[in-house]
Amino acid sequence: MTRYAAPLDDMRFALYDVLDGDNQLRALPRGESLGRELIDAVLEEAARLCEQVLAPLNQSGDAEGCRYDKATASVTTPAGFREANAQFVAGGWAGLTAPERYGGQDLPETIGAVVKEMLDSANLSWGNYPLLSAGATEALLQHGEEWQREVFLKPIVAGRWTGTMCLTEPHCGTDLGLLKTRAELAADGGYRISGTKIFITGGEHDLSENIVHLVLARLPDAPPGTRGISMFVVPKFKVARDGTVGTRNGVVCGAIEHKMGIRASATCVMNFDGAEGYLVGQPNKGLAAMFTMMNAARLAVGIQGLGLIERAYQNSLAYARERLQMRALSGAKFPEKAADPIIVHPDVRRMLLTQKSIVEAGRVMVLHAALLGDTQLRSEDPAARERAEQELSFLIPICKGLLTELANECTYDAMQILGGHGYIAEWGLEQFARDARITTIYEGTTQIQALDLLGRKVFQLQGAGLKLFLERIGSFCAEHAGDAGLAEFVTPLGRLAQQWGELTQRVGVAAAGNPDELGAAAVDYLFYSGYVTLAYFWARSVAAAHAGARDEAFKQAKLATARFFYQRILPRTEAHAAIMRAGSAALMEMPDALFG
């Protein structure tokens, strides 16, 4: 069985030392009581749940998977999942960040992000069930009517019900303008929903009393394309406006997918046949509500990538310290043993440090994004809310796209460290690699994140978020310009930030003459942006470690890991910059027929 210990010390360092997060949160409305003692108590209790309850079910849940009963159209989750969910609900975790008004604890999303990383490291499949409930909660909070929040939100926050997002259809993936699911107004003022949705996480399971589906559909008179999408709340069991729960609704699970990874997470085909539901928000305005759910889910999936890297790193590091094989190239390091542990070998250290450098900077990045989210939601200063929204909007595709892609790389490296044992199921590392693969696909593939970043967040929105983030980097570099101890980080960071702006302008000019240039540059732009973003957070981490009261071993580890990142990972930006400068010609010049 693979091991997991919540990295509480590094989580506290990222939140408190690097980001000053406790003070930021305390300065926001409803945050006055958020001292470190309270936050630490929450994190320590979450760590116990994840280490003792969820982590032990990760491997067995993957082996057993979910079971679909065609006769009853029901789904059974693996052994132990229901009991774990009962403990999760009893501990109040389902409503951790939800408003008190609806039964939640009203803690900031930043605290929720730290807890979520632990959940995902411990058991990614299990963590998918509350993830979609959080998305449904956000959509109902921002777009639902008050009676809908009272009737549907309170049971979700209490953990008695769960939520889903029903977007994708068999013929329609990312291009939601093609969706065909229909919604017709009924005599009772509600709607009747008909159509088929696929890839619905948690669409059917045995963990909750009811399942609340948020469904995208078209009204009969809807305009074509995305302008004609509306959102509806459709429960598994019918629910009246007064909250009375009735008979089974006209929505059933037609099948579950047999997947490469996250096998204990039920991925369902959902058939709606005149299912009773209610309109959420305004007619034909469902896309805005969908993006509320999608943005929350995209940051959450970035955290999934982070959690997988942490779990893979812990287990490959433990193996590298124990496995004896050959002698160090520079001579025996443990002459009393038959061979040296493989951690002495340069390439094993490369793979370990790749994981360590990504996860520690990535943790700071997602918590910075979460703090922006709390500012956007809680601040009473309209200007501060607007700035936070712009910067967060810019960072979300980077968090999602980069961390999930690097989760694939890092879980691969972890498997490689174990050699043949990494390929064997009983050691557990291959599960991390399989689970990581989906994270680059669901909630928008990497290509979709890249187009969102470059096409929408940079060009359509005139680079508002990019400008704010570059200003943040510029301020940091100016503040530490005379610091000899940080020069090795500040100097290249400033140069890359300047080049970032130049590359953005270059791609924009090229795309004005040929739109294919945007598509050709987008993925490399995302990676370039991501590596520079991580470099910024590594520079901040070194500065925070140096200025803080941590012991010398901690400071030395941060400094050495930052140096590895800057010398061995950050040069990847040079390749991505060269590819962007190359343009689209080599991609587009060959006729389609010649692909063979």
Mean pLDDT, range 260-264, rounded to an integer: 98
Any domain includes 212: no
What's the CA gap between 201 and 197, in Å, rounded? 11
Residue 21 phi, psi dihedral angles, 5° rounding: -65, -35
Mean pLDDT, range 253-274, rounded to an integer: 98
Asked if 17 contacts 545 with a C-beta cutoff of 8 angstroms, the reply is yes
Burial tier of 77 (Cβ tally within 10 Å: 0-12, 13-18, 19+): buried
What's the CA gap between 251 and 217, in Å, rounded? 14
Phi/psi region, residue 159 (left: phi>0; alpha: psi -120 to 50; beta: rest), is: left
> What is the rounded average pLDDT for all residues in the chain?
96
Using the predicted structure, report yes or no on whether residue 68 has a pLDDT greater than 90.
yes
Any domain includes 150: no
Extract the tokens encoding 64.
């057993």
Total domain count for the chain? 1
Q: Which of 443, 488, 552, 574 is the catalytic position?
A: 443
Task: List % helix, strand, coil for the chain (3-state, nearest 5).
Answer: 65, 10, 25
Which residue, chain included where needed, has tokens 């955290």?
Answer: 303
Nearest to 299 by CA among 138, 429, 176: 138
Q: Residue 113 is which amino acid?
A: A
What's the CA gap between 207 and 82, in Å, rounded? 6
Mean pLDDT, range 184-210, rounded to an integer: 96
| Cβ neighbours of 596 (radius 10 Å) | 3
Mean pLDDT, range 483-505, rounded to an integer: 97
Any domain includes 375: no
DSSP one-letter code for 337: S
Tens digit of pLDDT for each residue in 1-59?
Answer: 799 999 999 999 999 999 999 999 999 999 999 999 999 999 999 999 999 999 999 99
What's the CA gap between 318 and 320, in Å, rounded? 6
pTM for the structure as a whole: 0.97
What's the CA gap between 148 and 477, in Å, rounded? 48
Asked if 408 contacts 445 with a C-beta cutoff of 8 angstroms, the reply is no
3-state secondary structure of 440: coil
The region of weakest confidence among 127-141, 397-411, 460-474, 516-530 is 127-141
Per-residue confidence (pLDDT) for residue 105, from 0 to 100: 96
Asked if 237 contacts 245 with a C-beta cutoff of 8 angstroms, the reply is yes
Using the predicted structure, report yes or no on whether residue 596 has a pLDDT greater than 90.
no
- 443 annotated active-site: yes
Using the predicted structure, report yes or no on whether residue 548 has a pLDDT greater than 90.
no
What's the CA gap between 316 and 347, in Å, rounded? 13
340-345: long-range pairs with CB below 8 Å, 24+ = 342/417, 343/317
Any domain includes 531: yes
Using the predicted structure, report yes or no on whether residue 452 has a pLDDT greater than 80.
yes
Any domain includes 388: no
What is the share, in percent, of the chain residues with pLDDT greater than 90? 92
Mean pLDDT, range 257-273, rounded to an integer: 98
Any domain includes 22: no
Helix H segments across 91-183? 109-122, 124-143, 146-148, 154-158
The pLDDT-based confidence of 150 (bands split at 50, 70, 90) is: very high
Tens digit of pLDDT for each residue in 99-129?
Answer: 999 999 999 999 999 999 999 999 999 999 9
Max distance between CA atoms of the chain, in angstroms, equals 84
DSSP-assigned letters across all residues of 244-305: -EEEE-SEEEEEE---SS-TTS-EEEEEEEEEEEEEESSTT-HHHHHHHHHHHHHHHHHHHH
Any domain includes 21: no
Q: Residue 566 is part of which domain span?
A: 462-586
Per-residue confidence (pLDDT) for residue 173, from 0 to 100: 67
Any residues with CB less than 8 A from the CB of 553 and at least 6 apart, and which? none
Count Cα atoms within 13 angstroms, Cβ side, for 221: 2
Which residue, chain included where needed, has tokens 């411990």?
Answer: 122
Mean pLDDT, range 75-93, rounded to an integer: 98
Per-residue confidence (pLDDT) for residue 225, from 0 to 100: 86
DSSP-assigned letters across all residues of 456-492: IIIIITTTHHHHHHHHHHHHHHHHTTT-GGGHHHHHH
Per-residue confidence (pLDDT) for residue 94, from 0 to 100: 96
Per-residue confidence (pLDDT) for residue 296, from 0 to 100: 85
Any domain includes 497: yes
Using the predicted structure, report yes or no on whether residue 293 has a pLDDT greater than 90.
no
Per-residue confidence (pLDDT) for residue 518, from 0 to 100: 97
What's the CA gap between 126 and 566, in Å, rounded? 35
Asked if 466 contacts 457 with a C-beta cutoff of 8 angstroms, the reply is yes
